Amino acid sequence: MARVNRQVILRNRPVGMVDSQTTELKEIPVDELSDGQALVKVLYLSIDPTIRGWMDDAPGYLPPIGIGEVIRAGGVGEVVESKSDRYKVGDIVSGLTGWQEYAVADDAMGSMSSLPEGIEIPVAMNVLGTTGVTAYAGLLEVGAMKEGDVVVVSGAAGATGSSVGQIARIKGASKIIGIAGGPEKCALLTDEMGFDAAIDYKAGHVARQLHELCPNGIDLYFDNVGGEILDAALANLAMKGRVVLCGAISGYNATDEVKGPANYFSLIINRGRMEGFIVLDYMARWPEIQAEMAGWLAEGKLKHSEHIVDGLENAVDALNLLFTGGNTGKVLVRL
């Protein structure tokens, strides 16, 4: 008897926030495996802001998701059938599974990789997955963080942001400031995650607070949000300051024209640099970075939290948490 695959497909391109019209839950039979393939039962989906970007019909670092196609997303699953030399039944593998119950791993495409052993899946998907590597590569490679730097990160209570602050601490930043929404998240940053200070962007003037906290300016600003917070950071850039562009969560659901950073001229006055990156470019260094992060995790230097939402049918709600600020830490959907 053929297995049934439940999939969430893109029905209409969203205008603003993703809603009930955007996606559709569909049931289709699982195809017979070809030689070199394995069937993966998805256990967890990684919910990342970039998924919202892929839903737009706009140029990006990957093509848009087509109408009728499964929503693209990273995930982790267990191999339940195999005609593959590479994947064995019982293996736990990670890759772009998409929002569905069953995904196919393919020897020829090398599409799935194994997870680090001995670490719970949600934790591995957070600090040892795309999220952790994004924080590491953005801060240390793109931002070229040096010992003694004053580091500011926005979206600081999110999965990437909280790792950025902690890696900055480990690598010897002199001051680490997180920007987040609400007193609970701010308290988490200073009380649990080792940030020196936190700014609640919903309460008070961000640029002024940055000026008070960083009287000599910001050496490295790690931007997850864009918009007015990016502008506030630019206004407080130190000489030779660096802005790492990781995301722009404030703009992903915009229906009006996105406003650019009006203070970009600060890059001239301060001989600053603003640079974007995509974590996929650091694939070759993944094992090395993962190993270093795993070491810190084992030593208890890397705090983390996962926000788990149950059920494929709730994936849209899980995605929207990222934009309403309803999450703390890494958002995952458990199937």
Binding residues for a second copy (CB under 8 A)? 59-61, 226, 231, 245-248, 251, 257-278, 281
Distance CA 56, CA 94 (A): 25
Q: What are the backbone angles phi and psi of residue 259, rounded to the nearest 5°?
A: -85, 135
CB 262 to a second copy: min, Å = 4
Residues 6+ apart with CB under 8 A from 90: 78, 79
Query: HEC states along 265-294?
Result: HHHHHCCCEEEECCHHHHHHHHHHHHHHHH
Cβ proximity of 139 and 156 under 8 Å = no
Of the two residues 49 and 122, which places its CB atom closer to a second copy in the complex? 49
Distance CA 189, CA 3 (A): 45
Cβ proximity of 232 and 214 under 8 Å = no
CB 94 to a second copy: min, Å = 23
Radius of gyration in angstroms for the set of CA atoms belonging to the chain, rounded to a whole number: 20
CB 160 to a second copy: min, Å = 13
CB 138 to a second copy: min, Å = 11
Structure tokens at 279: 């974590």
Of the two residues 32 and 281, which places its CB atom closer to a second copy in the complex? 281
Of the two residues 97 and 160, which places its CB atom closer to a second copy in the complex? 160
CB 133 to a second copy: min, Å = 15
Of the two residues 218 and 332, which places its CB atom closer to a second copy in the complex? 218
Of the two residues 270 and 305, which places its CB atom closer to a second copy in the complex? 270
Of the two residues 231 and 306, which places its CB atom closer to a second copy in the complex? 231
CB 20 to a second copy: min, Å = 27
